[in-house]
Each structure stands twice: as C-alpha cells, then as structure tokens.
Amino acid sequence: MSGAEPTLAEICVVACAEAWRGDGAVLASPMGIIPSLGARLAQLTFEPDLLVTDGEATVLAPAGDGGRLAEGWVPFRDVFTLLAAGKRHIMMGASQLDQYGNQNISCIGDWARPKAQLIGVRGAPGNTVNHPVSYWVPRHSRRVFVEHVDMVSGVGYRRAASLSAAIGGFHELRMVVTNLAVLDFGGQEHAMRLRSVHPGVSVSAVADATGFVLAAPLQVPQTRLPTEAELTIIRAQLDPDSRRDQELA
C-alpha cells in the first residue's frame, strides 16, 4: 500500500492521535483499535513521553510486532492513583452522547425497564471528573448523538458545572472523533461543536446524522490528512494487518 491515498480509517487514526497532542507524560488509555493506533502514533511522533496502555494494565512499547509489544505493567491500584491525580487521558466509546457531553454506556430506554442492557457505567463517572476524556464513535448517527441520553454514565459539562470546584474543577472533555468528523465542546456553554469534517463529508451530512443542533464555525475545515511519515508508521509498523479497517466495516 506504499504511496496509496489515505483511507478513512487512517484519517481517523490521525484524528485520534491529535486528541493527545500537548499531553506530555500522561497515561493514554485508548478503547478500540483506531484509538489505540492513534495513541501509539502520537507516542511515536509528537508525544514521545506518553505512556500507552492496551486499555487495561499493560504498557505498550513504542515499537514492536505490529505495535503490540509489552514493555511494562501498571496494576489497577496504580491506574486509580493516576486517575485520581489527573495523570490520565482516556478515549472511550459511547452508546449515546448529548450536546453537552453526557455519555451513556449503561442502558437504552427507561432505567426501570430498559430496552437494552449495556456494559454499565464502569469507570466513566470517575474518569470524566478526574482527568481529560475523549470519545471515539465509529458510526456517527442520531442513535448515538441524541438530545438526551437515557442514563448519564460519563458526566457532561452542564452537570459538571453543578459540582463543587473540588470535583468539577478537573472536568475536561477534549474531543469526539467519528467516521464523519471531529468535534469538540467549544460551543456556547461548552456545547458540542463541529471542528472538522473528513474528506468527502459535507457539513449537512454531519448535521443530518446528529440528533441536536450542532454548533459550527462559518467555515468548517477538512480534517487533516496523514503525512507520508505517519502513513508509513501506521501501515508498516503499527498495523500491517490492516485491523483498523475492520472497525469501520
């Protein structure tokens, strides 16, 4: 694939990598293939001080067999210490996200009689009030981007504002990367904002796939493309088996 045009998956890998730009020495905890490749790419390029985990307790080396070589172990007691100290930046998934960043991974429908039981709140409440959090959504749709989440698992900006300064003062939702676009929370009162659209995607297509009015600048830029060096790292070093494409299939 040398010299081939970047694929959508590779554009998403780079967009995820950008979520960790400027973080320095923090524990990067990516959930999913494309976020994991993004964290590894950031570590190998502009954020060499990142500690990258496999999403659990294994610390991954900057290089290795397909980018999966373990070089250390962080027991969960230490993960929780880093979490509480704000020295972690996780990229989670979301079954639902609303305009102000409330996330649901627990259930769909009324809590008393849900239509579907999901994985539960897990660590989302503690993550979102202690350290930076980003989200990866491989299928941007109105089922995910909803006006009101059915249950709050991860805390959004309006809820965080009602917390005490001792708790809400560490709340930061950084970025949302989807198969259509990159979003942040730079709108009025931290409303979700369209930051860029991927090549070939229109602003109206993103708006149509979102269940609330999405803030956007007058001119929405295109998501940046991978550099030749980044493509080489992704294709030859981190993911020679093209696992990244499976997440968007």
pLDDT digits (tens, 9 = 90+) for 18-30: 999 999 999 999 9
Q: Kindly tell me if the per-residue pLDDT of 2 is higher than 70.
A: no
Contact 175, 137 (CB under 8 A): no
- Residue predicted with more confidence, 238 or 166: 238
**Quick one: pLDDT band at residue 242, thresholds 50, 70, 90?**
very high
Q: Kindly tell me if the per-residue pLDDT of 1 is higher than 70.
A: no
Mean residue pLDDT of the chain comes to 93
State the Cα–Cα distance between residues 2 and 240, nearest whole angstrom: 11
pLDDT the model gives residue 65: 53
Contact 136, 16 (CB under 8 A): yes
pLDDT the model gives residue 62: 82
pLDDT the model gives residue 195: 98
- Residue predicted with more confidence, 168 or 220: 220
- Tens digit of each residue's pLDDT (9 = 90 or more) over 126-173: 999 999 999 999 999 999 999 999 999 999 999 998 888 777 778 999
pLDDT the model gives residue 179: 98
Dihedral sign, Cα of residue 86, residue 89, residue 95, residue 100: positive
- Tens digit of each residue's pLDDT (9 = 90 or more) over 37-63: 999 999 999 999 999 987 777 888 887
Per-residue pLDDT, averaged over 109-117, amounts to 92
Residue 233 DSSP one-character state:
I
pLDDT the model gives residue 27: 94
**Quick one: pLDDT band at residue 68, thresholds 50, 70, 90?**
low
pLDDT the model gives residue 64: 54
pLDDT the model gives residue 58: 85
CB atoms under 10 Å from CB of 14, counted, come to 24
Dihedral sign, Cα of residue 105, residue 106, residue 109, residue 114: positive
State the Cα–Cα distance between residues 230 and 137, nearest whole angstrom: 22
pLDDT the model gives residue 67: 52
Per-residue pLDDT, averaged over 206-226, amounts to 97
Q: What is the pTM of this model?
A: 0.94
pLDDT the model gives residue 167: 74
Cβ contacts of residue 3 below 8 Å, gap of 6+? Answer: none
* Weakest mean pLDDT among 10-14, 51-55, 102-106, 229-233: 51-55
Q: Where are the alpha helices (DSSP H) in the chain?
A: 8-19, 33-44, 76-84, 124-130, 157-161, 165-168, 203-208, 228-232
State the Cα–Cα distance between residues 141 and 97, nearest whole angstrom: 10
